[in-house]
Amino acid sequence: MARSLPTRSQPIELSDTVERRIKLYSVAAMAAGVSVLALAQTAESKIVVTNANIAVNPGSVVYLDLNNDGINDFQLSVAIGGYDHSFYATLAIAPLTGGRVMGGNRGPLGPYAFALASNSNIGPSAHFSSSVARGQITIVRSNGSQSGPTSHFKLYGQWGSAAGTRYLGVKFLIKGKVHYGWVRMTVSRTIVYSGAPRVSATITEYAYDTAVNTKLGAGETVIEAPPAGTAKETGPSIGMLALGNEGLSLWRRE
């Protein structure tokens, strides 16, 4: 004769201790999942570098698309002019996507872009000029004049006195999120007809960090991983948390 299995009409009640441990385990598992996700996002962060050979000459306008998404992020240009026996030339950069350029505060002749040395900090703590005249910030400005055989020439801004290659520190928006980058550039100046000063620039590289709101160094091309063996567990493991007070006591002893 077949025997029927007994049925249970009431749900099984867990003890307070077991239920508390299950809740601790769930919280720990969720925290671990978030940590793994954060590590995965960090691992995907990289610095994208674009090699270039772009000349910025008087009368020309140059556009830079730092992340190569088809949207121009910055515009560089050289304006020249003058009156009577005085002449001037201005090399300037204008953000196009809500970005900024690292530079000083506005002075008598406007704000000037920093001529950054290699490894200079470009990030949230850096100083980005908030004073942008006519939508642009001056990189270098030259003034000159000539009276008879005598000519005068003077440069304004950090790039006029900087020797060799320097970097522009920039930030711009990708889908509304802030990213930081740099533009490697040399600036040259010459005096041509009638003592008129001319400035020009050559862009040889530019780069940006794919991580949102993350600093990088001027000229930096590779994100360095922490040395092997430096990782250290700073909290109890999931198993220890699931054990409750006993697990925490074990962690403290370790």
Model pLDDT for residues 88-130, shown as the tens digit of each residue: 788 999 999 889 999 986 665 667 899 999 999 999 999 998 7
More confident residue, 231 or 225: 225
Residue 68: domain span:
47-217
Model pLDDT for residues 21-54, shown as the tens digit of each residue: 555 555 444 544 444 344 444 446 899 999 999 9
Q: How many domains does the chain fold into?
A: 1
Q: Is residue 6 in a domain?
A: no
pLDDT at residue 198 tops 60: yes
Q: Is residue 119 in a domain?
A: yes
Q: Is residue 106 in a domain?
A: yes
pLDDT at residue 158 tops 60: yes
Separation of alpha carbons 249 and 254, rounded Å: 9
Q: Is residue 227 in a domain?
A: no
Per-residue confidence (pLDDT) for residue 101, from 0 to 100: 94
pTM to 2 decimals?
0.68
Q: Is residue 136 in a domain?
A: yes
Highest-pLDDT range among 78-92, 132-146, 209-223: 209-223
Q: Is residue 110 in a domain?
A: yes
Q: Is residue 228 in a domain?
A: no
Q: Is residue 37 in a domain?
A: no
More confident residue, 104 or 202: 202
